A and B are shown apart, each in its own frame.
Chain A
Amino acid sequence: MDDEFDVIIVGAGIAGALMAWKLAAANANVLLLEAGEHSPERVDLVGTFAVASLKTPRSPYKGRAGDIYAPSPEGDFDYYEQDPKGDLYKSTYERRVGGTTWHWLGNAPRLIPNDFRLYSQYGVGKDWPITYLDLEPWYGAAERAIGVSGDHEEWQDLLGAHRSEPFPMTKIWTSHSDGRVKEAIKGLTYEGREIRVVSTPQARNSQPYQGRPLCAGNSICVPICPIKAKYDATVHVEMAQSAGVKLRSQCVVTRLQVGEDMNVKGLTYKTWDNVEHTVTGKIVILAANAIETPKLLLMSASDRFPKGVANGSDQVGRNLMDHLQGAGTALSREPLFPFRGPPTTSGIDVFRDGDFRRQHGAFRMSLGNDGWGRVESPYDTIFKLVKSSGFFGTALRGRLVDRITRQFRISYSTEVLPSEHNRVQLSANVDGLGIPKPKLSVVLDDYNRNAFRKAWDVMRTIFTAMKADEIATPTDPNKYSGAGHIMGTCRMGKDPADSVVDSECRSHEHRNLFIIGSSVFPTGGTANPTLTIAALTLRAVGSVQDQLRD
């Protein structure tokens, strides 16, 4: 087996797959290593989901050997070790060829200009070393690469974000429910802002794209699109392989080797039979995720690099972020007919920026097409009606239809500031290959709690304007769920003393080591991170190619 390559990429998710595809198309000899396995046939995964007791994001993928040799988190403690003195990190990911895009929702908004200059503008967080306009052309490239459907006119200059090109596909049609809610709250304001409902840009097809079909509204984007109308990174894994990339799955990287000249010479990985292998490359690119990437850098500690590789700043693993979420529910006065179409097709984006960011986090809101979402599933509803209320027969059916067709939820996804105390370290616990599991420490603060309270208030304002019944919003500011938006931990910056990579995603200390993915985000804003991951990756391709030519 070959063991020398131009470029070795660790992680076959969206960042690794896009990078591999671009480099191989330019004739580089690329090895793409993936800790997890290839997925079985999509139809089989849907079948596994169909009979899963709990319809969780991992439900189609569980019960396979990867649970032992390249485990993925599902709950708060089943893979992570969490600091008992702190709060809980709630987000999870998927280790397999294609990565977490297997069960991402598909929302693909951009960050906005003030997200890149949070400290300069509001005195909190950190500035990025690049501006929105630096990344703007790459956002366009990313939208074309993964196929984003959106409304160009609606999003042009929204929140100050200029768009230099239209979306490659027209928007995913908004739902019947979106339309009724939009009508009911027309002109409604909150603290002087119009609560405007806009369509959500989504990486699912509104026309045939890349040989993939139109979205049919199968409604299970999370955990799996049955027809691949939603983009997932297997698209670019396959394109990369066609361009000559060598993909090795079930290969868990355990250590980077650094030469005397400070360049990374190669790395060691374990196959699932617990045999070690070593490969060398002119360039090494880490594209795991914001937990597995810092874990690998920390695992590569040695006498020479006691804090780990690329960690002279001591920032590797720190500034772990997510978007903390919650939901409010109500019964609409009229049937909205949920459980049709993608889980969300419209949102409220006006609270993603404002002077309030000095005091509390910004937030993005989604209008659901999935009833009461995670607050109460239809299974919960029928259970209550039968068990608690004793309904059966036509009375049950009537009550069931009346309630579920009127269920409506809004969810909020809030900004989290970077903090050195929120971090990834190595656990003393190990997985099935003897590799340390991640140890996570996070602490919630008032910047988060006050954002939750504001979001609750906005939701109540909306539900009240809808004249809805049974309005329920959360009441405990210490309760939240994760968005699956794992960010930070190897942040980019101008100063090597407080950042891990430069604006090109290159390690400050090891010139041939690149880190791509959401681990390099200095702040997280409120946009679902995948499109920004893709844009930063495509932007970094040129620097990798320049390095390769040196």
Chain B
Amino acid sequence: VLEEFLELSELLVGQSGLGQALADPYMARIRALVPHGQYVDQLITVFKEIKAGGGDINLEIEKRIMTDASLGPLAQQIIFLWYTSALPSVDGKVWDFGSPEEYFSALLWPAIRAHTPGLSGGYFGHWKYAPDN
């Protein structure tokens, strides 16, 4: 299940090579989500069916997961979790973060060629130049 969760996550966020180390705690957080967590097994089952079907995988994810009343909101939470390490409230005003390690591993910041706020890892003045990463 964890393998499928990771594979589906990569398709949802549009990035390969997601860390195995975060898959465990993220799966646990997603399962604990109310009300979305109850649909995790169904989500994985549908994803397996999509893969077995052999069609355009992104098209099928959109059709069978993203537009589904139960699975869509769950998939969106998975996207938020990987990109930010947090799960938003219904209105997006409050974000529930996990551990500091997860915060510093959020995908959003390197995606925009920045760094997680609080940990630049850079040298004095690097901000004067366009990013080289």
Contact = CB atoms under 8 A, between A and B. Distances in A.
Interface of A: 46-47, 49-55, 173-176, 179, 206, 214-220, 226, 335, 337-342, 345, 369, 378-380, 382-384, 386-387, 390, 392-398, 400-401, 404-405
Interface stretch (B24-32, B40-48, B121-129): B121-129
Contacts of B66: 390, 392
A219 B126 CA distance: 12
B112 interface: yes
B12 interface: yes
Nearest to B112: A404
A341 to B, nearest CB: 3
Contact of B12 (A219, A340, A380, A392): A392
Contact of A340 (B11, B83, B114): B114
A185 to B, nearest CB: 18
A387 B126 CA distance: 34
A15 B62 CA distance: 59
A337 B58 CA distance: 29
B19 to A, nearest CB: 17
B12 A401 contact: no
Contact of A216 (B76, B113, B122, B130): B122
Interface in B85-118: 86, 88, 92, 94-100, 103-104, 108-109, 111-115, 117-118
A226 B112 contact: no
Contact of A219 (B61, B80, B120): B120
Contacts of A335: 130
A218 B79 contact: no
A50 B75 CA distance: 24
Interface string B59-80: 0011000100000000110011
A380 B112 contact: no
B125 A173 contact: yes
B128 to A, nearest CB: 4
A173 B127 contact: yes
Contact of B127 (A55, A217, A380): A217
6 contacts: A218-B120, A219-B115, A379-B86, A392-B75, A394-B14, A401-B112
Contact of A379 (B14, B61, B76, B88): B88
A392 B59 CA distance: 11
B88 A395 contact: no
Contacts of B88: 379, 383
A409 B75 CA distance: 32
A400 B76 CA distance: 15
A394 B111 CA distance: 11
Contacts of B61: 392-393
A97 B112 CA distance: 37
A339 B97 contact: no
B131 interface: yes
Most chain A CB inside 10 Å of its own CB: which residue of B11, B12, B120? B120
B13 interface: yes
A173 B14 contact: no
B15 interface: yes
A109 B61 CA distance: 54
Nearest to A48: B100
B95 A379 contact: yes
B54 to A, nearest CB: 18
| A-B pairs with lowest CB-CB distance, top 8 | A341-B127, A397-B14, A339-B114, A394-B14, A50-B103, A383-B92, A173-B125, A50-B100
Contacts of A396: 13-14, 79
A375 to B, nearest CB: 14
Contacts of A179: 128
Nearest to A402: B112
Contact of B80 (A47, A173, A386): A386
Given A50-B104, A340-B126, A341-B126, A380 B92 contact: yes
Nearest to B12: A392
Nearest to A51: B97
Most chain A CB inside 10 Å of its own CB: which residue of B11, B99, B113? B113
A393 B14 contact: yes
A123 B130 CA distance: 47
B75 A217 contact: no
Given A175-B128, A340-B114, A393-B14, A217 B122 contact: yes
Given A52-B97, A53-B94, A396-B79, A176 B127 contact: yes
A49 B94 CA distance: 14
Nearest to B99: A51
A52 to B, nearest CB: 7
Contacts of B124: 173, 206, 214-217
B62 A392 contact: yes
Contact of A387 (B76, B94, B127): B76
Nearest to B88: A383
Contacts of B52: none
A463 B80 CA distance: 31
A46 B128 contact: no
Given A51-B103, A340-B131, A217 B119 contact: no
Contacts of A176: 127-130
A61 B46 CA distance: 44
